[in-house]
Structure 1
């Protein structure tokens, strides 16, 4: 299935941009994103039929492009085709995975996770240890980038969904989800 044509297709060298990504050139990834993201979003949207999910697929696909750019082989096909096939496969996998899982509503899932974490935390250790941990948590939260800290607080204190957080911080949904994941990972590392 051919991809939608981008304007001035011959003016952009996808192969060279992927090779630059493989060398760690984040500017090359940005150029690919600026050039292709709206078309790639359309590909994902046609497959998953939900804009938020399509945005997630696009985000995940660009993470894959960045991490797997070194596996691109110009001898096996064009760079643009490789990029589009990654998005298409990511979207198809999302549809297949969605058919196999039962998904809780985001607020319900977040509430369940928070309740489980609180119960486990209360069952472990004494009162003095909990107060010490709360002090460390404040210190660790202060060490996060403001955008990541805001996303975490909106999610776990205000109980907002990822979509609501994206609207509050005026950032794409995929970015908000990535900030929350990275923020949680940084908090875990800091708290150990």
Structure 2
């Protein structure tokens, strides 16, 4: 699952019980619950969106859209299918990717999908040194783990997650057989999972 390798750098997630309580209140129209969720996850969501959009103004606009969407679609949250943390990040990623596919964004950004040096730098508009430290440490773990993958494995994972490309699109873009794309992604994710679980000793 492509979402896994970015979720692994998440920080300070609340307990499932607290998240369910927030969402029950939100579904009843309690705006203070939205404030609690925003305070808890704004840094993480901002960092994810910025990684995809690469622009401060675009990121801030998208961040607001994500929390408005959460408010409007709170009833769609099903705790039996996952936690709020994952639900929110999926929403943020989809919103950001939708923006990259817009005509205006494409006109202003000329993206190069060839990955020479993978970097993952946490970005936040908020100044909480403890959260910044944790983000930096976790991002460093992911960066280190990625260096243990082959360049080809890193490349397909990067464009799939951060550019929102499907496996078929990757196959067409890089002129790689679809089966090879699937294999590289599967192998890359398995290696990442093992490396992060082991604390990256290689």
Q: TM-score, normalised by structure 1?
A: 0.49
The structure showing larger relative contact order (alpha-carbon pairs under 8 Å, at least 6 residues apart) is 2
Greater per-residue helix proportion: 1
Q: TM-score, normalised by structure 2?
A: 0.46
Structure of larger gyration radius: 1
